[in-house]
Structure 1
Amino acid sequence: MYRYDQFDERFVRERVAQFRAQVKRRLDGSLSDDEFKPLRLMNGLYLQLHAYMLRIAVPYGTLASRQLRQLALIADRYDRGYGHFTTRQNMQFNWAKLRDVPDILGLLADVEMHCIQTSGNCIRNVTADHFAGVAADELEDPRPTAELIRQWSSLHPEFSFLPRKFKIAVTGAEHDRAAVKVHDIGLRILRHPDTGETGYEVIVGGGLGRTPYVGKVVREFLPRRDLLAYLEAIVRVYNADGRRDNKFKARIKILVHEIGTEEFRRRVEEEFAQLDGPTINADPEEVARIAAYFAPPAYEKLPAKSNAYEAHRAANPAFATWADANVFPHRVPGYAALTISLKAIGEAPGDISSEQMRLVADLAEKYSFDELRVTHMQNVVLAHVRQADLFAVWQKLCEAGLATPNVGLITDIIACPGLDYCALATARSIPIAQALSKRFADQARQKEIGPLGIKISGCINACGHHHIGNIGILGLEKNGVENYQITLGGDATENAAIGGHLGPGIDAKDVPDAIERLVDVYLAQREDGEIFIDTVRRIGVTPFKEVFVAKTHAKSKEPENAVA
């Protein structure tokens, strides 16, 4: 993983000192709240419903054990003993006190971490495939590209005050696990069909929120040497032409939609042609220097299958169940990548206690070359575990309550913090996720249903990615009551799609029954080998909608003491 150089170290330390002085001035009244707001946002500090929330950058989701241990220390010393992993692979602390934030930033700087550009109208944390470097379907590890973009975009003088926030994701695999098509810019590493040269497919204008769009391809193949100059051209066009009169129409997706993909491409290509590429693009030696930090670890030469692993599977059905759901094939024989689910039944998705952080850090250090990954699904990955060690890791996870065998299944739910924390939320997300995980807790039932992604947002901003959930749930306020709209058919993969509404919103108490009915339609209609999203695509939304409208809304009109 990348290590800070002298510039990085000085840059972060100076920002800590600067913000310490700003906080002091806010506390003594020298700065008003309005004057302080843009300063705190540039350091990832939000004012939420009950307290300040501090968002910590985890570039492309990669952490070292010492960094996770430092987050555990911060959780104990300055928060309430836990943190929350987000859909942008970051961590949030929800109970920070303003006077403590400079000290927290100092502790982060001690382990090469910070909160810069985790907020504000700038280029945010660059995300990537959580199986980067280990997936068999990967052409190239996307993290060197993500790190190059991080360095290019950090405090970029032209792009610190964009019309709105800006998000970039990178994947190097055939199967998209980074949701690149719903980002402001998505990059897919690919090989030119004629020359064999490695470069990028460039996708622009994706995004969720109140107006969700799947991104459009503006360059089918961009030579890798031109990456930064082309990104600069895209963001320049957006910076110049994006709307600033209405924040709801200020994202780049609106610009692409309003002027059309062809016109947007023309403007970008014109800007790109005028740029002095050699002064913007990274020197090949610098690219090589960055890439060297992501060289594969010193794997052992192992047989493709571990006899010990197979024996443990045969002797322990609970371990086999966990391995079937949570273990991902590794490109190196004898190794596996495993996902630690942060979706224990009945718990808040994405939350992790300080004790669990320390345990995961210990496991990463002992079994996975001191490296772990945060996923945009709000889970954690140990990417380099020997198959022979999987049973020992599983035992430790069981002791810590981290061995839930549900990755990719119906209880592996994405949820934003919602109205329990967020000042923008209009409804709660966490209780809905908890109720659904309890409803579908039975492991045999989950296995029968198979892969199915539920995503929940507590407001129209869609931080829970509900638009691209196979089943999406959006919480809104209606006449003083929390009301939930259900969407169907969303997809975050290379087949990205925005889900369609099934009908009017429903009360919170009716959500579990409604989801159960949708699952029942799928189980009755699926053909051999179909997963949920395949069946939705084959039969369409109508059969689900008919059941949802007829039964769900009929039930919601019954008196509370009615007999079902």
Structure 2
Amino acid sequence: MYVYDDHDRQILAERVAQFRDQTERALAGELSEDEFLPLRLQNGLYVQRFAPMLRICVPYGMMRSAQLRRLARITRDYDKGYAHFTTRQNVQLNWPAIEDVPDILAELGEVEMHANQTSGNCIRNTTTDQFAGAQHGEVADPRPYCEIIRQWSTFHPEFAFLPRKFKVAVNALESTDRAAIQVHDIGLQMITNASGDLGFRVHVGGGLGRTPMVGPVIREFLPELDLLTYLEAILRVYNRYGRRDNKYKARIKILVKALTPEGFAEKVEVEWSHIKDSPTRLTRDAIERIQGYFTEPAYLSLDNNSEQLAAQRFENRAFDQWMSRNVDNHKVPGYAIVTLSMKKTGVPPGDVTDRQLEQIADLADQYSFGEIRVTHQQNVVLADVRQDRLFELWELLGPLGFATPNLNTLTDIICCPGGDYCALANAKSIPVAESIQRRFDNMDFLYDVGDLDLNISGCMNACGHHHVGDIGVLGVDKKGEEFYQISLGGSSRQDAAIGKILGPSFAQEDMPEVVEKIIGVYLDQRTPEERFIDTYRRIGIEPFKERVYA
């Protein structure tokens, strides 16, 4: 992963010093709240329902074990002893004191971490597939391109005060999209053209929130070296024509829809014609320099371990279940990709204690070259585990609470912090997630249902990605009471779709039964090969309505 040089460290130190001065002036009353607001947001500091919240950037979801240990100490010393993994692969602290935030940022800087642009109307953390660089079938490793975008976009003066927040994602597999590129402001699909040249298919204008949309393609093939100049052209068009009079209509998706994808693409091409040969254009040397940071770990030449693994799986059903759900194939023979589930029943999805952060760091050092990845689903990945050590790793994970074999099932719930923390939330998310997990805490049943995404958001900002869940749950306010609206048929993959609202909302105590009825329709109607979304698309929403509202 990328390692800071002297320039990076100097810029980060100056940024921390700058924010320390801004914070001291704000606390002394020399800056008004309105003046301090954009300054603190671009340093990741929110004021939530009960306390400040600090969002820490995890570029493309990757961290070293030393960074995890520093996060553990910070959560212990400055917070309440736990942190939260977000759906954007970042980390949040829910209870820091405002006056401590400069010290926290200084400590993060010592291990090459920061909170720059994790909020505010700027380009946020660029994300990608959590298995990037370790899996079969990638066009190329997307992480260097994420790093290139990060370096270009961080502190870019032209894009520091956009009409609204801005998110970019990159995907390198044509068969699978774990990065959800079609519901981002810009989604980049890495591809090769007929001549074998590397480039990008460019989606613009996707997003969730109040007006969810799937981003259309505005360019079928963008040559690799033109990446930054074309992104700059997109941002310039957005900065010029995006609405600033209404924050609910300020996202780029609204502009793309208003202009039509073809009209927006035409404006981008005109803008790009003026800057495509500017100094921002990438060079082969620049790309190779960044790629040089993403070298492969010191993999060993390992014998095929299939017979031993097969025997261990045959002798231990729980291990077999975990292998089926939590372990993926690796591009290097003898290695595997392991996902640690952060969704043990009774634990808020994505929450992790300071002690668990240290334990994950120890596991990374022992089993995965000292590196971890945070996923969009709020889980954690050890990407380079030797197959002959999978059984001993699994035995360690159980007592730590990370071995729940429920990935991609009904209880692997994506969930925002909701009304327990967030000042924007209309309703709580965590209790609903827990009640559903407890109702379906039976692995045999979960495996019979199969892969299914259930996503929960506490408000229309959609931090829990409810629009793109097979089953989406949205917290709504009805005359001061918390209710929950259901949507069905969403997807964030290649077949991206926005879910359709089922009907009137439900009280919190009804939610497990409502979900059970929805699952019942699916089990009754599916054919053997169908996923939930396949059955939904075949039979439509009416059978679900009839069962739920009967």
State the TM-score, normalized to the length of structure 1.
0.96
Residue in 2 aligned with 1:288? 288
Shift of 1:276: 4.5
Task: Answer yes or no: is the 8 Å Cα contact 2:43–2:119 preserved in 1.
Answer: yes
State the aligned residue count.
Answer: 549
SS for the counterpart of 2:394 is helix
Residue in 1 aligned with 2:318? 318
Task: Answer yes or no: is the 8 Å Cα contact 1:183–1:205 preserved in 2.
Answer: yes
Residue in 2 aligned with 1:219? 219
SS for the counterpart of 1:383 is strand
* 1:50-72 deviations in Å (ceiling 9; x for gaps): 11100000000011010011100
Deviation larger for 97-106 or 18-27:
18-27
Residue in 2 aligned with 1:181? 182
Within 1, Cα distance between the matches of 2:487 and 2:314? 40
Residue in 2 aligned with 1:504? 504
Q: After TM superposition, where is structure 1 displaced by more than 4 Å over at least 4 residues in a row?
A: none
Q: Aligned runs of 1:54-93 on 2, under 5 Å?
A: 54-93=54-93
Task: Answer yes or no: is the 8 Å Cα contact 2:230–2:276 preserved in 1.
Answer: no
Shift of 1:376: 0.6
SS for the counterpart of 2:514 is helix
Determine whether 1:394 maps to 2:394: yes
How large is the Cα RMSD of the aligned pairs? 1.0
Shift of 1:239: 0.4
Determine whether 1:21 maps to 2:21: yes
Within 1, Cα distance between the matches of 2:21 and 2:271? 40
Within 2, Cα distance between the matches of 1:488 and 1:204? 24
Residue in 1 aligned with 2:40? 40
* 1:498-538 deviations in Å (ceiling 9; x for gaps): 00011111111111101000101111111112221221122
Shift of 1:5: 1.4
Q: Aligned runs of 1:95-174 on 2, under 5 Å?
A: 95-174=95-174
Within 2, Cα distance between the matches of 1:105 and 1:162? 24
Residue in 1 aligned with 2:418? 418
Task: Answer yes or no: is the 8 Å Cα contact 1:45–1:52 preserved in 2.
Answer: yes
Deviation larger for 307-316 or 534-543:
307-316
SS for the counterpart of 1:455 is strand
SS for the counterpart of 2:336 is strand
Shift of 1:37: 1.6
Shift of 1:152: 0.4
Task: Answer yes or no: is the 8 Å Cα contact 1:128–1:171 preserved in 2.
Answer: yes
Task: Answer yes or no: is the 8 Å Cα contact 2:16–2:106 preserved in 1.
Answer: yes
* 1:336-388 deviations in Å (ceiling 9; x for gaps): 10111111112100001111111111111111111110001111000010111
SS for the counterpart of 1:456 is strand
Determine whether 1:377 maps to 2:377: yes
* Gap regions ≥5 residues in structure 2: none
Task: Answer yes or no: is the 8 Å Cα contact 1:56–1:114 preserved in 2.
Answer: yes
Counterpart AA for 2:183: V
Counterpart AA for 1:191: T
Shift of 1:259: 1.1
Within 1, Cα distance between the matches of 2:314 and 2:91? 37
Residue in 1 aligned with 2:547? 547
Within 2, Cα distance between the matches of 1:84 and 1:467? 22
SS for the counterpart of 2:328 is strand
Within 2, Cα distance between the matches of 1:533 and 1:301? 41
Counterpart AA for 2:476: L
Within 2, Cα distance between the matches of 1:189 and 1:36? 39
Counterpart AA for 1:424: L
Task: Answer yes or no: is the 8 Å Cα contact 1:471–1:486 preserved in 2.
Answer: yes
Counterpart AA for 1:236: R
SS for the counterpart of 2:94 is strand
Residue in 2 aligned with 1:268? 268
Residue in 1 aligned with 2:350? 350
Within 1, Cα distance between the matches of 2:10 and 2:147? 18
Task: Answer yes or no: is the 8 Å Cα contact 2:144–2:291 preserved in 1.
Answer: yes
Deviation larger for 203-212 or 295-304:
295-304
Counterpart AA for 1:87: T
Shift of 1:282: 2.4
SS for the counterpart of 2:333 is coil
Within 2, Cα distance between the matches of 1:99 and 1:259? 45
* 1:237-292 deviations in Å (ceiling 9; x for gaps): 00000000000000000000111011001000000011152411223212101111
Q: Aligned runs of 1:460-479 on 2, under 5 Å?
A: 460-479=460-479
Residue in 2 aligned with 1:559? none
SS for the counterpart of 1:277 is coil
Task: Answer yes or no: is the 8 Å Cα contact 2:72–2:353 preserved in 1.
Answer: yes
Within 1, Cα distance between the matches of 2:346 and 2:184? 30
SS for the counterpart of 1:95 is coil
Residue in 2 aligned with 1:530? 530
Query: How many percent identity over aligned positions?
Result: 56
Deviation larger for 234-243 or 135-144:
135-144
Within 1, Cα distance between the matches of 2:153 and 2:293? 19
* 1:445-500 deviations in Å (ceiling 9; x for gaps): 11111100000000011111000000000001101111111000000101100000
Q: Aligned runs of 1:423-438 on 2, under 5 Å?
A: 423-438=423-438
Counterpart AA for 2:282: A
* 1:195-228 deviations in Å (ceiling 9; x for gaps): 1111100000000001000000011000001000
Determine whether 1:201 maps to 2:211: no
Deviation larger for 486-495 or 291-300:
291-300
Residue in 2 aligned with 1:455? 455
Counterpart AA for 1:437: Q
Task: Answer yes or no: is the 8 Å Cα contact 1:502–1:549 preserved in 2.
Answer: no
Within 2, Cα distance between the matches of 1:38 and 1:221? 36
Shift of 1:395: 1.4
Within 1, Cα distance between the matches of 2:245 and 2:323? 52
Within 2, Cα distance between the matches of 1:475 and 1:418? 8
Deviation larger for 414-423 or 521-530:
521-530
Task: Answer yes or no: is the 8 Å Cα contact 2:78–2:97 preserved in 1.
Answer: yes
Residue in 2 aligned with 1:50? 50
SS for the counterpart of 2:158 is coil
* Gap regions ≥5 residues in structure 1: 551-564
Within 2, Cα distance between the matches of 1:508 and 1:383? 38
Residue in 1 aligned with 2:308? 308
Task: Answer yes or no: is the 8 Å Cα contact 2:184–2:215 preserved in 1.
Answer: yes
* 1:4-31 deviations in Å (ceiling 9; x for gaps): 1111111111111111112222222222
Within 1, Cα distance between the matches of 2:430 and 2:277? 47
Task: Answer yes or no: is the 8 Å Cα contact 1:132–1:141 preserved in 2.
Answer: yes
Shift of 1:310: 2.5
Within 1, Cα distance between the matches of 2:137 and 2:429? 34
Residue in 2 aligned with 1:481? 481
